[in-house]
Structure 1
Amino acid sequence: MKICVLTVNHGTTPYAELLLASLLHHHPDREDVRVVVLDNASTDLDRLARFPSVEVVQTGYTTDHTLTTHGEILRAAVLARPEYDAYLFVDCDVCFVADGTIEALAAELTADPDCFAVQARWITHQGEELQPTDNAAPVAYVRESIRNSPDAAWPDPIEYSLEIQLNERVHPFCALIRNDDAFRRTVEHVGLSPAAVQAERGGKWWDTLGLLTQVMKTHGRHWTLSEQGVVHFGNVSWSADWAAEKAAARDRLLAAYSPEAGLGEAAREGVGEDQQDQTDE
């Protein structure tokens, strides 16, 4: 299976460095895996210079956009690279901890023809498994005003609620997605960005890949949770405080995956006791 790994770097290059170091360590000499960093004008890309096999592409976006650019960037990258059998969407704050994780995801995807995506398990940097929907707010409240032209007057705003459908999507933090006709048509015509549906009886909101997941259901397709887990720090591009809280664990893992180090005690400390068996594989 020819796979393109796509990750979006949004001013979080130290995490992206760990992602690449761990990915290449656990998947050496994989000629059928191409890794592309889609960068939003980060200022410290020299940190990635030690990965000559990795392609770094500027997206045209910066780190200052108020709306999420993740889905649009992934959509453009997929449409520009149609030759792959599958795409591995992976957040830049992920660390691979087991040999052959990508091969295992590919085997699980191949084994079920009706499965359009396989999502890895989310392991925190403390070594605990986390459900992507844990602690999610069930409802959001919106107050908005829409005008039909730049010179039109703003009408009075309307208010409505949206049910948050976080448990109704494959999560892009680490998901291998089959590149077939249904997927490509959905990417082209619907996209991968968050989406909201307004309705008097209660609107709904889906995060990145959420609407894709719903459309794929209309094709009789589903996604599945893998047996494989990866460390996912989570939300480091949204909050500088959260990123700083997790930096020490990130740096311990980064030291373990440095060219001068093997996977010894530093890696064990970095991912927590629950992940020690995986780092030994």
Structure 2
Amino acid sequence: MTRSIHPDTDLGTVHLKVAELDRSIRFYEEIIGLQLISREGETARLGAGGPAALLQLEQLSEGAVPAPRRRTGLYHFAILVPTREALGLAVRNFLQRRVPIGQGDHLVSEAIYLNDPDDNGIEVYADRPRENWTYTPQGEVAMATDPVDIEGLLALAGDKPWTGLPAGTVMGHVHLHVRDLQEAKRFYVDMLGFDIAANYGGQALFVSAGGYHHHVGLNTWAGVGAPPPPANAPGLIFFTVRLPDTAELARILTAVGEQGIPSEQFEDGYLVADPSSNRVLLTVRA
């Protein structure tokens, strides 16, 4: 039986390809509320206070093409704000700037959805206290997609100034298109060790560490057997899974190697690819 991934595992920086870096920086600063940490050439790092980046943007060379609808890759990345008031302030900013948004009250969280200029999906959300979550008879986290109390969020925001995303904002989860759900399960659950938090109709699977509602979402909504996007299309380069210590990293790399999956040393971690060509950087949290 596969050992569960360490319960203190979480997510770090999401790396994205974009068509126009200046345009994307403006969007993520003015609309989402991230702060530019650094820019070197065609690469920019953005965060929510402090040196840690939530997002790294890399500009594509000339000849970028839109990502097709039928493809694997990013469905959305999800920025977790620390309070419901912070979510209300973000919602007010979206509405004032007339940004099209979607919404979902997932029982465990309240979420707002939007897209960046390259159609990369974004979720900004606030969790409800874990002690208020409920569970199915099968032991899975109970989730739904109900209307969000937008008026209540705006009331919490009141006339307080919006100064961007507050300290304490983190990368909460990443949701991916995959070509086959069982294949993805073997990679993320049977090999990496994430636990199944919820399973929806054979089309979506939510997996996590430490009982969270999900750190990684997996779906086949872009079509079973969908191919990877073109290399010159905007989208996900890789996302970061942060492990608490080197022993846990070594254990997972051993499991990866035993399955014949190559790993590539990259900066302070190791890159591996799931069967749908979605890449994951496994690293130790600083």
Do both proteins adopt the same fold according to a TM-score greater than 0.5, normalized to the shorter chain?
no
TM-score under structure 2 length normalisation: 0.25
More strand by share: 2
Structure with larger Rg: 1
More helix by share: 1
